[in-house]
């Protein structure tokens, strides 16, 4: 049976991981957090002193994911999207969070002031939404609000309905 590949993207702290794990649990699709994958496989290309984090080796990440993406049925979670091949995803969801809520979430994570401000600006200027629209067909890119627990449930239900319809349309 053919299953869709889904990309969850957005600024750090918008709820991609929470949504992705719950969606995978309910849908049976495989969940992959690119940050965790990179850490496990040491898929890095140096260290960014300014932000205090490793630099992702995007080519190695793509190589690592290629076979799984070809098989289908994968939910990918990452805060960037312009390096993934366009052919991989059937739909892209960009999660969005109000700045005041996002600021508190990132502060709780212990982000330094520069990292905090840059991520808030990223959200204000819709950087990841624009990146997704530039990287994928416009009709497959959708924004979802991610401020409150009720919205999480709404998003899971909306995406689950989309998955069901996609499976029907591609397996008959």
> CA angle, 141 as apex, 136 and 142 as ends, to 5°?
170
* Whole-angstrom distance, CA of residue 128 vs CA of residue 141: 11
pLDDT per residue as tens digits for the range 11-25 = 999 999 999 999 999
Res 79: pLDDT:
96
pLDDT tens digits for 49-82? 998 899 999 999 999 999 999 999 999 999 999 9
107 confidence band (pLDDT: 50, 70, 90):
very high
């Amino acid at each position: 049976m053919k299953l869709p590949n889904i990309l969850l993207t957005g600024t750090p702290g918008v709820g991609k991981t929470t949504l992705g794990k719950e969606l995978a649990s309910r849908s049976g699709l495989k969940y992959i957090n690119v940050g965790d994958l990179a850490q496990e496989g040491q898929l890095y290309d140096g260290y960014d002193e300014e932000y205090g984090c490793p630099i992702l080796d995007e080519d190695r990440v793509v190589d690592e994911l290629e076979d799984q993406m070809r098989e289908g049925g994968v939910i990918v979670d990452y805060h960037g999207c312009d390096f993934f091949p366009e052919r991989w995803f059937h739909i892209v969801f960009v999660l969005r969070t109000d700045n005041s809520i996002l600021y508190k979430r990132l502060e709780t994570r212990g982000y330094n002031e520069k990292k905090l401000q840059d991520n808030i600006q990223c959200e204000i200027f819709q950087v990841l939404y624009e990146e997704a629209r530039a990287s994928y067909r416009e009709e497959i890119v959708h924004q979802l609000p991610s401020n409150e627990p009720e919205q999480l449930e709404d998003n899971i239900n909306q995406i689950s309905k989309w998955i069901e319809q996609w499976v029907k349309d591609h397996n008959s």
